C-alpha cells in the first residue's frame, strides 16, 4: 500500500483528466480514509490553482494540499508579474519542481489539467517521484489500476465534451466499486475558455455496472 | 494492516420482542481490492440459530463447515437439535482449542431458545463469550456499529421495527468503513420462521 506515516490521512483515490477540443474534463471520487475509517466521504479533490487550471490530488491529503497551496501562490505571482494567465504547462512545471525536489518527504500523485490560450485544453500527470508526463488522458490514485484496461479500450482521440464526461463517469464509477480506498460521490469539472462547470454524480445516478 | 482487517467485514445481532436479528455485509476484499460482492458470512446452524463470522475469510469458510459437522454429530448423538447457548459454548471450545494458533474470526450468534426466548452473543478470536441482552457487533466496522446500535436500539422492538433498526445500523456503519459494505443481508428469526432480506446499499 502507500507509504504514509501512522495516523496520516490518505487520499486513496481515483482521479482522472481527459482532453477534448476546447477544454478538459476532470473527475475524482470523494473518499478520504485514515486507515480503514472513512474520515471524509464528501471530499473535494479537484482543487483550483488558477481560474482555468485545476489539479486532481491523490496520495497524502496533507502533502497534496500543501503543494497545491504553494503552486497557487506562485501562479498568482506569475499573473501579477506577466500580466497574463499562466499556461497549464507552467502550472504543471511548478508542481513538478516541488514534487521532485522534495521527493523523499512527499507522497503525492497529482494530475494538472485546464485550459489556456496557447494550447486549449491540456493534461499533465506527476506521479510519485516527480516526473512530468503529458498524456491525452490521465488516470491516477489507488483506484486507477483497476480501470487501466477499461480506459485504454474505451478512449478514442477526438471525443466530444459529452463523450468525455460519460467516459470519466464510467471509469471513476468502476474504480469506486472495486477500490476500497475510493468511494462517495463523483465530482466532475469541465474547464473551457468560458469557465469551469462543476457537477456531482451521486451513487444512484451512476452508469449501470455488473455487481454480482 | 492487521490480519483481521485483510478481508473486511461487518456483523451485528440485535434482540427484539420474541425475535432476533442478525445482519452482515457482503464484501470480500483483499486489502483495498474488492473481489466479491456476494460473500456469505452468516449461515444457519439450525432452524433457530444463525452464526455470523467476521474476520479472515478463509477461516470464516472453514469454520462454517466445521460447525456444520459438529452440529450434525451432536444431533446424531443427542437425538435432538442443539440449543443456542449450548452451540455458543461449543464454538467457544473449538476456538480455545486453537489458543496459540487461533482462527482469525469473531463469531456473532443469534438464536431463539426452546421456550422462544431470544439469545445473542459474540466472541473474540480465542473464544471469550460476551452475552448481551441488547446487541453485539463484530468486524472492521465494529466501532461504527457500536455507535449506531447504542443510539438506535431500544428494547421490545417487533420483527418489522427490528428489521428497520438493524438495517439502518448496518448501512450507516459500513458507509464509514472502507473495508466493509458492498451490499448487506439481514435475517430476522421469529418463532414462526426466518425472514431474510437483502439490503440495497452503496457499492463503494
pLDDT 10s digits, A27-86: 999 999 888 999 999 999 999 999 999 999 999 999 999 999 999 999 999 999 999 999
Q: What is the pLDDT of residue A2?
A: 53
Q: How far does B52 lie from chain A, in Å, by closest CA?
A: 21
Q: Provide the 3-class DSSP secondary structure of residue A62.
A: helix
Chain B residue nearest residue A184, CA to CA: B204
Question: Average pLDDT in the A200-207 region?
Answer: 91
- Cβ proximity of A212 and B182 under 8 Å: no
Instruction: Indicate yes or no: CB of B203 within 8 angstroms of CB of A182.
Output: no
d(CA A8, CA A15): 20
> Which residues does chain A have within 8 Å of residue B33's beta carbon, measured at their own beta carbons?
146, 178-180
State phi, psi for A206 to the nearest 5 degrees.
-70, 150
Q: Provide the 3-class DSSP secondary structure of residue A53.
A: strand
Q: What is the pLDDT of residue A134?
A: 98
Instruction: Indicate yes or no: CB of B178 within 8 angstroms of CB of A37.
Output: yes
- Grid cell locating B4: 483481521
Query: Could you tell me the strand order of the sheet in which B135-139 lies?
Result: B135-139, B10-15, B20-25, B184-190, B193-199
Chain B residue nearest residue A211, CA to CA: B37
Q: What is the pLDDT of residue A114?
A: 98
d(CA B30, CA A90): 40
Closest by alpha carbon to B25, among B2, B52, B58?
Answer: B52
Is B32 in CB contact (< 8 Å) with chain A?
yes
Instruction: Indicate yes or no: CB of B32 within 8 angstroms of CB of A183.
Output: no
Query: Which parts of chain B register pLDDT below 50?
Result: none
Instruction: Indicate yes or no: CB of A36 within 8 angstroms of CB of B179.
Output: yes
Write out the H or E segment, with its range, that includes residue A68.
helix A61-82
Catalytic hit among A3, A13, A14, A79 = A13
Angular region, A192: left φ>0, alpha ψ -120 to 50, beta rest: beta
d(CA B40, CA B51): 11
Distances (CA, A) of B33 to A143, A206, B108, B175, B183: 9, 20, 25, 16, 16
Calculate Rg over the CA atoms of chain B.
16
Q: Count how many pairs of residues, chain A against chain B, have C-beta atoms within 8 Å.
A: 63
pTM for this predicted structure:
0.87
Residue with cell 438493524: B166
Give the CB-side neighbour count of residue B87, counting CA atoms within 13 A: 34
Calculate Rg over the CA atoms of chain A.
16
Cα distance from N-terminal residue to C-terminal residue, chain A: 26
Query: Over 60: is that where the pLDDT of A170 sits?
Result: yes
Q: What is the pLDDT of residue A1?
A: 44
State phi, psi for A182 to the nearest 5 degrees.
-120, 145
Question: Across the interface, which of B34, B176, B183 has its CB nearest the CB of A180?
Answer: B34
Distances (CA, A) of B21 to A84, B14, B66, B86, B171: 65, 5, 23, 19, 15
Q: What is the pLDDT of residue A212?
A: 75
Q: Which of the residues B32, B36, B145, B198 would you substitute to probe the A interface, choosing the one with the greatest number of A C-beta atoms within 10 Å?
A: B32
Annotated active-site residue A13? The verdict is yes
Amino acid at each position: 500500500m502507500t507509504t504514509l506515516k501512522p495516523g496520516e490521512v490518505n487520499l486513496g483515490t481515483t482521479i482522472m483528466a481527459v482532453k477534448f477540443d476546447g477544454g478538459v474534463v476532470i473527475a475524482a471520487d470523494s473518499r478520504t480514509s485514515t486507515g480503514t475509517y472513512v474520515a471524509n466521504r464528501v471530499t473535494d479533490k479537484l482543487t483550483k490553482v488558477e481560474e482555468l487550471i485545476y489539479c486532481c490530488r491523490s496520495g497524502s491529503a496533507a502533502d497534496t494540499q500543501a503543494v497545491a497551496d504553494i503552486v497557487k501562490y506562485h501562479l498568482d505571482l506569475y499573473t501579477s508579474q506577466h500580466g497574463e494567465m499562466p499556461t497549464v504547462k507552467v502550472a504543471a512545471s511548478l508542481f513538478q519542481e516541488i514534487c521532485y525536489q522534495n521527493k523523499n518527504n512527499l507522497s503525492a500523485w497529482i494530475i494538472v489539467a485546464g485550459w489556456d490560450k496557447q494550447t486549449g485544453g491540456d493534461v499533465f500527470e506527476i506521479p510519485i517521484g516527480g516526473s512530468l508526463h503529458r498524456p491525452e488522458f490521465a488516470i491516477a490514485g489507488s483506484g486507477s489500476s483497476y480501470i487501466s484496461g477499461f480506459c485504454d479500450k474505451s478512449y478514442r482521440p477526438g471525443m466530444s465534451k459529452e463523450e468525455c464526461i460519460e467516459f470519466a463517469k464510467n471509469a471513476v464509477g468502476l474504480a469506486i466499486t472495486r477500490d476500497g480506498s475510493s468511494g462517495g460521490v463523483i465530482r466532475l469539472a469541465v474547464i473551457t475558455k468560458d469557465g469551469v462547470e462543476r457537477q456531482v454524480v451521486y451513487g444512484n445516478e451512476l452508469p449501470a455496472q455488473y455487481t454480482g | 494492516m492487521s490480519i483481521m482487517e485483510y478481508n473486511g467485514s461487518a456483523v451485528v445481532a440485535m434482540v427484539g420482542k420474541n425475535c432476533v436479528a442478525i445482519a452482515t455485509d457482503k464484501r470480500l476484499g483483499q486489502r483495498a481490492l474488492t473481489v466479491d460482492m456476494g460473500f456469505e458470512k452468516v449461515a444457519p446452524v439450525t432452524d433457530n440459530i444463525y452464526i455470523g463470522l467476521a474476520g479472515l475469510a478463509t477461516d470464516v469458510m472453514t469454520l462454517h463447515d466445521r460447525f456444520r459437522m459438529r452440529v450434525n454429530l451432536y444431533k446424531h448423538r443427542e437425538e435432538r437439535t442443539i440449543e443456542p447457548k449450548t452451540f455458543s459454548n461449543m464454538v467457544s471450545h473449538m476456538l480455545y482449542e486453537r489458543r496459540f494458533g487461533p482462527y482469525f474470526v469473531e463469531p456473532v450468534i443469534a438464536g431463539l431458545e426452546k421456550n422462544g426466548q431470544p439469545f445473542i452473543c459474540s466472541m473474540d478470536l480465542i473464544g471469550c463469550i460476551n452475552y448481551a441482552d441488547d446487541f453485539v457487533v463484530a468486524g472492521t466496522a465494529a466501532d461504527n456499529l457500536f455507535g449506531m446500535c447504542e443510539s438506535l436500539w431500544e428494547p421490545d422492538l417487533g420483527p418489522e421495527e427490528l428489521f428497520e433498526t438493524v438495517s439502518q445500523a448496518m448501512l450507516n456503519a459500513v458507509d464509514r468503513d472502507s473495508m466493509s459494505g458492498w451490499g448487506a443481508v439481514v435475517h430476522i428469526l421469529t418463532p414462526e420462521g426466518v425472514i431474510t432480506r437483502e439490503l440495497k446499499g452503496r457499492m463503494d
